[in-house]
Structure 1
Amino acid sequence: MQYQAPVDDMMFLIKDVFNLEQRFKGIADFADFDSELYAAILEEAGKFSTNVLQPINRSGDEEGCQYDDGVVTTPKGFKEAYQAYVEGGWQSLTANPQYGGQGLPKALHVLVEEMFYATNTSFCLYGSLTAGAYHLLQAHADDATKDKYLPKLISGEWSGSMCLTEAHAGSDLGILKTKAEPQEDGSYKLSGSKIFITGGEHDMADNIIHLVLARLPDAPAGPKGISLFLVPKFMVNDDGSIGERNAIRCGSIEHKMGIKASSTCVMNMDNATGFIIDGPHQGLRCMFTMMNLERLSIGLQGIGLGEMSYQQAFDYANERLQGRAEGVEGTAPIIRHGDVQRMLKTMQCYTQAGRALAVWLGAWLDEAFHSTDDAVIAKAQNMAALLTPVAKAFFTDIGYEVCTIGQQVFGGHGYVREWGMEQHVRDARIAQIYEGTNGIQALDLIGRKIVANKGAFLSELLTDMRVDIEGFSDSAQKSLLIEQLNGLEDLSYKVVENFSDDHDKQQYIACDYLHFMALSLYAYLWLKMAEAGQDSKRESMEFYFKRLLPRAYGLKKSIENELGL
């Protein structure tokens, strides 16, 4: 089946649920944008997804990337699709207009990225890493570096990569070993190997700009001794033209369970020339700018694949005839069976609530990056910090669950390749692992975003939500939501009181806590969507409160048992 971009649902979020035009009224950078423009961009993104990306998704999975003596070739059609992607301006959507970007809101971009992940996750990853690279350089590089590298990263002529992981150093970056030796001309020579580097080598862009974490000779041990370096595949001359080949090369590519058309590389540096970004020992601080954006992006992978799986399962359920159903003569389509309805409704409820949270988080990021009001910026930074690990982990945990449910709707046909459902499951699985495993996200949430500030970020968010809820119509669901949020707040303070100094206990309950928070936020978003006035949303909201929110009760009890309450 052809992907049907859910533009109507996306515009419902933009206009009716979050009213982005009104929210962004005080942001000068967005003054020329309106809902009509947002709708036009989403329509075009949907066409690009359906007509360009989806047709090469399965073939890309079957062919995969090919490696030959340091050269990586992407599957048939990918170079042409990438050229169309660049020419269409998709790489530059949120980038700074000063360097050739379009300066559009992240709250819009999350929806575009969802479509691209839905139709071709492997392809979307290349552009995602490039976007992260130019946002990092925009935030932390000096003006000369920005002038030299940003225009061609933003245009997509060059791509970017993020070189963190080493064979012995995954989530624990403090023990990485890659070395950087200072040179008399102000450059550095880097030596070492990085693994699992998405887009580290490929044949679609003229140059690849690697952002590499490494240690200086006098660096202190641990995370505080890490510096960040820009290491181009080809050196860049003063006039912006490409120069000689740098000593950073792909040693091999991984043979993976999924995302096979995305090149996952081992990158070897042997006195490769690099340039330090933002001074010595600032590497992790800089890299978190990129990592946090990538974490939201990977979360969107879960939503996009979930949406694609839902659309295919829904169509199949309407066509597949099996069994009997009341009111149907002869064999009935399986969508008439209650268990299939349950599966489809579960897929839909999780995916649409995740989309809403993505737009909400995108709006906070827009305020953090574009507002000129210090109070607005501070609050937006707090909210983005709180919600990012929730989005990355829950979107991907649930995205994988949704894809397996979609496979289940197809029965035996879901297990064979020709229907495409098994690819969604394989592609979705990695999202729970890379860009910080979901366990790491949960530890970040409970340790840094709850315990460290004694629940202040959450209290700030709940205050806003409660003000909003006061305006909702009285209903059983409103009462349940108020009770749920009170329970979230109470549980969070108990975690702070009991586990502040016990990191082992924090780890033990972290994933349950993250899921409990996410289910609570989804309940708020479902009621907010229902209040915006769509009957279909009200029906889905009622299903969520009846069938999915109760999962939170078991999680809460599990955490309380661990707290000894």
Structure 2
Amino acid sequence: MPTYQAPLKDTLFLLNEVFPMEHFKTLDGFADLTPDLLEAILGEAARFCEQTLQPLNSVGDLEGCHRLDDGSVTTPKGFKEAFGLFAEGGWSGLSADPAYGGQGLPGTLSSIVQEFIYAANFSWGLYPVLSQGAYAALKVHASEELRQIYLPPLASGKWTGTMNMTEPHAGTDLGLLKTKALPQADGSYNITGQKIFISSGEHDLAENIVHLVLARIDGAPDGVKGLSLFVVPKFIPDADGNPGQRNALQCGSLEEKMGIHGNATCTMNYDGAAGWLIGEEDRGLPAMFVMMNEARLSVGIQGLGISEVAYQNAASYARERLQGRALGKPKDSDAKPDPLVVHPDIRRMLMNMRAFNEGARALMIWTALKADELHKSEDAAIRQAADDHLGLMTPVIKGVFTDAGFANAVQAQQVFGGHGYITELGIEQFVRDARIAMIYEGTNGIQALDLVGRKLPKDGGRALKTFLTEVTLFLADMKKDDAFAVYGEPLGMAVDDLQSATVWLMENSIAEPDNAGAAANDYMHLLGLVSLGYMWALMAKVSQERLTDETGDRAFFEAKLTTGRYFMERCLPKTQTHLTRICSGAESMMALPAEAF
């Protein structure tokens, strides 16, 4: 069966040396976070994921969730006990505001712990993560009265949260939503409608479930401008804040799915359920997008997590499985076969996965630190720059990470050969579980369109200009180091490709909008490659310095430099392919009449 070991050493390398946490000491939650405390926190998270969650992964896949006649749902064996340990350990409120029962630690730590959780048990991880998104939306947009009721139990893990948007006739196009909200004399609303594909919509892990529901107040405008957001609890809190009367909502059915069997994906029926408005009427989408943006970054981390655990198991199998003989070795029929890991094509797949994982982890942590700056810095310029970064990188992290997560799960399966296709070794579960991350919280095609159509031109392209300036200045500073050329020169060429693609889009997408749509996916992946390349350049710089001063684990830094060189030589050149596709335009893509398909 699969195993998992949290990448603690690699994570601490990033936090202590590439993006030193001491640089963020002025932000709330960072001041007391010494390297020893950081290692202790993440070490405990690693143990929980390795020892408690990972053994339940195949259990959840085999058992799934079950809906009972009364509409309640039971989760797989061990899930409830694991959730209790998670809540008792304070992990639910790790980065939540102490004013509402949280620990007030950096959000960056929550993002790192999410990677460990998703790698250990993807399905289980979906239960607590939606609570974090609900917490964020309520904290930003809800009244203080609602915050006092809902935030403490969400932070403690006593209650969990969900996001209710999709309806049978409306997925990405939220303007088509039909769920209605009727105002009541007591200030509440009666919510009536049906929502589908609701992750963690009903379960037995917590005493209450807090649904955030998009609905249209009677008489509101059509389209997205008429949507409002409501908090609709499974049990209505009583005067003391405890779960009281059962609300008029129910899980109508559980979806039968390709993967993530251990998570309850529900059809939720609202039959005049009591709900309370979050924020302003007809301003539900901005409130929901606080949760959506949290969710999109989290889904990107899902791609990284599944890629990491798939890589670890493929590498272990490749070291142990004897098959064939190394190229160049005498073909003596009596010679023993060699382990898979000696074969170049196996190495190709392993190095592809490893190079992505380590670069993606760096990009995730860099972006998580920007989120902490956005929420906690007192400097307006720093907050603005952080907001720009998040706007630019959120679709990249969601889209590129999840595309790669699925592709790498498939590569890991390929390393196992026929044994990867059968259930016994558990690798095929990674492929099935990984697939959903490319679809939910906005399909990856939508992420690419959002990047090219909204994020790229926003504020005159300020976010991209800032990113390119930072990378270009870094490369200029490193030109004096001849040993760095194997990293700097390929990254410089990739930056040129990104700039050329951006100019082409500016010149060709206004007169012909289909050019932007046709280029979007390639542009997202081009920007993703350059971003990962920059992360590898930063890690290579630090690793070279550490080898020079001869401190620390020499083998670790040498492996880091080798993996970075592989990325620059074998992965980054794909920017040229993306640029060629972008510049080909939309003509051949759109030429066939619709009826030809």
Indicate the TM-score class for this superposition, using the shorter chain for normalisation. over 0.9
- For the residue of structure 2 that corresponds to 1:412, the secondary structure is helix
Bigger CA drift: 374-383 or 454-463? Answer: 454-463
Instruction: Kindly indicate whether the alpha-carbon contact (under 8 Å) linking 2:490 and 2:572 is maintained by their aligned counterparts in 1.
Output: no
The aligned counterpart of 2:498 is 488
Find out whether 1:42 has 2:42 as its counterpart.
yes
- C-alpha distance in 1, partners of 2:226/2:497? 41
The aligned counterpart of 1:366 is 372
Bigger CA drift: 532-541 or 471-480? Answer: 471-480
Instruction: Kindly indicate whether the alpha-carbon contact (under 8 Å) linking 2:248 and 2:272 is maintained by their aligned counterparts in 1.
Output: yes
Query: In structure 1, which of residues 334, 355, 358 is the aligned counterpart of residue 361 of structure 2?
Result: 355
- C-alpha distance in 2, partners of 1:555/1:494? 12
The aligned counterpart of 1:289 is 290
The aligned counterpart of 2:98 is 97
The aligned counterpart of 2:436 is 430
The aligned counterpart of 1:131 is 132
Q: What is the Cα deviation at residue 480 of structure 1?
A: 2.4
- C-alpha distance in 1, partners of 2:323/2:439? 37
- C-alpha distance in 2, partners of 1:161/1:492? 37
Bigger CA drift: 146-155 or 328-337? Answer: 328-337
- For the residue of structure 2 that corresponds to 1:194, the secondary structure is strand
% identical equivalent positions: 47
Instruction: Kindly indicate whether the alpha-carbon contact (under 8 Å) linking 1:371 and 1:377 is maintained by their aligned counterparts in 2.
Output: yes
User: Structure 2 counterpart of 1:365, which letter?
Assistant: A
The aligned counterpart of 1:419 is 425
Q: CA RMSD in A?
A: 1.4
- C-alpha distance in 2, partners of 1:471/1:140? 43
Bigger CA drift: 468-477 or 252-261? Answer: 468-477
Query: In structure 1, which of residues 511, 536, 544 is the aligned counterpart of residue 559 of structure 2?
Result: 536
The 5 Å alignment of 1:496-515 reads: 496-500=506-510, 502-515=512-525
Q: What is the Cα deviation at residue 170 of structure 1?
A: 0.3
Find out whether 1:397 has 2:403 as its counterpart.
yes
Find out whether 1:322 has 2:323 as its counterpart.
yes
- C-alpha distance in 1, partners of 2:512/2:184? 45
Cα shift readout 1:358-385 (whole Å, capped 9, x = no counterpart): 0011011110111111111111111101
- C-alpha distance in 2, partners of 1:194/1:180? 14
The aligned counterpart of 1:144 is 145
Find out whether 1:461 has 2:484 as its counterpart.
no
Find out whether 1:449 has 2:455 as its counterpart.
yes
Cα shift readout 1:511-530 (whole Å, capped 9, x = no counterpart): 11101110111111111111
The aligned counterpart of 2:570 is 547
The aligned counterpart of 2:21 is 20
Instruction: Kindly indicate whether the alpha-carbon contact (under 8 Å) linking 1:200 and 1:265 is maintained by their aligned counterparts in 2.
Output: yes
Q: What is the Cα deviation at residue 2 of structure 1?
A: 3.0
The 5 Å alignment of 1:242-281 reads: 242-281=243-282
Q: What is the Cα deviation at residue 296 of structure 1?
A: 0.7
The 5 Å alignment of 1:222-237 reads: 222-237=223-238
Instruction: Kindly indicate whether the alpha-carbon contact (under 8 Å) linking 2:490 and 2:569 is maintained by their aligned counterparts in 1.
Output: no
Find out whether 1:305 has 2:306 as its counterpart.
yes
- C-alpha distance in 1, partners of 2:539/2:475? 12
- C-alpha distance in 2, partners of 1:265/1:504? 36
Instruction: Kindly indicate whether the alpha-carbon contact (under 8 Å) linking 1:177 and 1:192 is maintained by their aligned counterparts in 2.
Output: yes
Cα shift readout 1:326-353 (whole Å, capped 9, x = no counterpart): 5695211111111111111111011111
User: Structure 1 counterpart of 2:402, which letter?
Assistant: T
Q: What is the Cα deviation at residue 152 of structure 1?
A: 0.3
Q: What is the Cα deviation at residue 494 of structure 1?
A: 2.5
Q: What is the Cα deviation at residue 29 of structure 1?
A: 3.8
- C-alpha distance in 2, partners of 1:311/1:112? 18
Instruction: Kindly indicate whether the alpha-carbon contact (under 8 Å) linking 1:455 and 1:492 is maintained by their aligned counterparts in 2.
Output: no
What count of residue pairs does the alignment treat as equivalent? 563
- For the residue of structure 2 that corresponds to 1:227, the secondary structure is strand
Q: What is the Cα deviation at residue 537 of structure 1?
A: 1.3
User: Structure 1 counterpart of 2:391, which letter?
Assistant: A
Instruction: Kindly indicate whether the alpha-carbon contact (under 8 Å) linking 1:454 and 1:496 is maintained by their aligned counterparts in 2.
Output: no
- C-alpha distance in 2, partners of 1:557/1:502? 18
- C-alpha distance in 2, partners of 1:310/1:28? 35
- C-alpha distance in 2, partners of 1:48/1:29? 23
- C-alpha distance in 1, partners of 2:215/2:569? 51
Structure 1: gaps of 5 or more residues: none
Bigger CA drift: 497-506 or 358-367? Answer: 497-506
Q: What is the Cα deviation at residue 563 of structure 1?
A: 7.3
Structure 2: gaps of 5 or more residues: 544-556, 588-597
- C-alpha distance in 2, partners of 1:218/1:561? 47
The aligned counterpart of 2:84 is 83
- C-alpha distance in 2, partners of 1:445/1:548? 22
- C-alpha distance in 2, partners of 1:51/1:286? 37
Instruction: Kindly indicate whether the alpha-carbon contact (under 8 Å) linking 2:162 and 2:212 is maintained by their aligned counterparts in 1.
Output: yes
Instruction: Kindly indicate whether the alpha-carbon contact (under 8 Å) linking 1:133 and 1:161 is maintained by their aligned counterparts in 2.
Output: yes
The 5 Å alignment of 1:105-254 reads: 105-254=106-255
- C-alpha distance in 2, partners of 1:395/1:363? 18
- C-alpha distance in 2, partners of 1:38/1:156? 22
Q: What is the Cα deviation at residue 451 of structure 1?
A: 2.9
- C-alpha distance in 1, partners of 2:513/2:175? 18
- C-alpha distance in 2, partners of 1:443/1:501? 17
